[in-house]
Amino acid sequence: MQKIKHYWTLIKSLQTGLLLVTGFTGYISARVPEIDMVTILGMLGSLFLTISGSTVLNMVYDRDIDSKMSRTRHRPLPSGQVSAKEAITLGSFISVAGMLWAFSLSFLFGVIVTAGLLLDVLVYTMWLKRQTAWSIVWGGISGGMPILAGRVLGIGGIDTIGLLLSFSILLWIPTHILTFSMIYYDDYHRAGIPTFPSTYGYKKTRLMIALSSIGAAAAIGIGIYSMGMAGGYMRLLSVLTVGILGLSMFSIYHPSEKVNFGLFKYASIYMLGSMFLLIIGA
């Protein structure tokens, strides 16, 4: 049981769960005429395995820098609770199983799911994360793949709404990563990871967080509007949007750690709330 607990920690269950919510949202947004539970379970299962597998593989590659950061040094790999060989075996097995499952549901769905894994593991983690602060863009693209994949599985192709929903996730992710890069500045510096605060300073980082939050709200708002959602849902979304716009502008003109962390928290609530509004409305 202890080993299973360590494996569960490796997959970052909260992060994986949030991405599964976006994948489900993408599928429901397609407004398929009949809900097929077999397809939904297959979609969620394949996404869970692929996302979890990529996360495990990322943690294997990053175990050296995780050991240098106070926030991550107690994770199973740097603490020695799980060996690198075990983790590589686990990550590879569930990644391949997830991708094969995805292709069995739909070829295009499988392509997008696989692209998300490759972007996350090869491009973001192994290539760019230790080279440039702009690696977060590729991490964001990877994070936007589940919602796009879900919609593709529902409608059978890529459309503007799917791209807008994916773009909203891409823009939301910097709000999360950049906030953490300021809070744990010393950790990232000790590990030698280039971040926006270390490269461009705190002022520009806070501006980037505010602009990405506004962009995420605009993308999901236009996407939901383009779906022809009922007026009541759009009014609720408008109320949520006023909050994120207000906090974003306040963080630009009155920057502080407290305001920035409040924007980070609200942006997460906003994104999750938008997903649920979209699910219920669709």
Neighbours of 198 (CB within 10 A): 17
Single-letter amino acid, residue 103:
F
Q: Enter the CATH code of domain 1-156.
A: 1.10.357.140
Q: Say whether 159-282 and 1-156 share the same fold.
A: no
**pLDDT tens readout for residues 16-66:** 999 999 999 999 998 766 678 899 999 999 999 999 999 999 999 999 999
Cβ contact 172:214 at 8 Å:
no
pTM equals: 0.93
C-alpha span between 120 and 102 (Å, rounded): 17
Q: Please report, for residues 66, 105, 193, 202, 204, the alpha-carbon distance to residue 189 in angstroms, rounded to integers and kept in the order given.
A: 12, 43, 6, 14, 18
Q: Where are the domains of the chain?
A: 1-156, 159-282
Cβ contact 14:52 at 8 Å:
no
CATH number for domain 159-282, candidates 2.60.220.10, 1.10.540.10, 1.20.120.1780, 3.30.450.40? 1.20.120.1780
Give the per-residue pLDDT at 78.
Answer: 93
Using 50, 70 and 90 to split pLDDT, how confident is the model at 122?
Answer: very high
C-alpha span between 10 and 69 (Å, rounded): 16
Q: Quick one: how far is CA 237 from the chain centroid?
A: 21
